[in-house]
Amino acid sequence: TRTAILISGRGSNMAALLAAARDPAYPAEIALVLSNRADAAGLAHAAAAGVPTAVVESRGFRGDRAGFEAAMQQVLDGHRIDLVALAGFLRVLTPGFVERWAGRLVNIHPSLLPAFPGLETHERAIAAGVRLHGCTVHLVSAGVDEGPILVQAAVPVLPGDTPEALAARVLAEEHRIYPAALAWLAAGRVRLEGGRALVEGAA
């Protein structure tokens, strides 16, 4: 399954997906890494790994989200992409784009959704005093950080945790669950029932 990873920055989740996809048995082929910022650090890593990269600068579109997405769509079509994985992609997508990719667009979010959608999740988890925090891989639907959940992983919030320490603990789990969830989706093991995702053969 020809898969594009969309990034805006560091790209550590992208790197985890690239590493998993190196296994010939992995069902997703990473055919493109697309960034909305030319300075995204992840682009160099992808290029070094021999993966085609592209940049569609969101800045150039000055709030014209539909125009930005049309430009992205053209690049995705040009690479014959079937599946899109958002990995630290910091642009909100329009309902039109989300609809176009329904069931084939997946995101990772650093919280146990529906708790803490949006940004600065680790700060907010600490401030809220929750004892468990974590990450979620979900299919993307029109709302921000919403959509059927594929998998979650929880980590403890420890006394004296800083946002950075907590983020690192969560990130290690992100790098574990995202490759697993993308594999399920690429292998056609995910089906939707009543707005929830069911994974065939998963516990």
> What's the CA angle centered on 145, arms 116 and 94, to 5 degrees?
145
Minimum separation from the CB atom of position 171 to ligand GRF (A): 6
For ligand GRF, the binding residues (CB under 6 A) are 7, 9-14, 87-88, 108-110, 171, 174
Strands 149-156 and 132-139: antiparallel
Annotated binding residues, as ranges? Answer: 11-13, 65, 107
Instruction: Report the distance separating Cα 20 and Cα 6, nearest Å.
Output: 16
Q: How far does Cα 193 stand from its chain's mean position?
A: 22
Minimum separation from the CB atom of position 22 to ligand GRF (A): 17
Of the residues 45, 109, 133, 175, only one is catalytic, namely 109
Q: How far does Cα 109 stand from its chain's mean position?
A: 7
Residue number closest to ligand GRF, CB atom: 88
Residue 5 pairs in a beta bridge with 33, 85
- Per-residue tokens: 95: 């309902």
Would you say 11 or 148 has its CB closer to ligand GRF? 11
32 phi and psi angles, rounded to 5 deg: -165, 140
21 phi and psi angles, rounded to 5 deg: -75, -10
Annotated binding residues for (6R)-10-formyltetrahydrofolate, as ranges? Answer: 65, 107
Would you say 96 or 163 has its CB closer to ligand GRF? 163
Instruction: Report the distance separating Cα 71 and Cα 57, nearest Å.
Output: 9
Is 109 a residue of the active site? Answer: yes
Strands 105-109 and 53-55: unpaired
* Catalytic site positions: 109
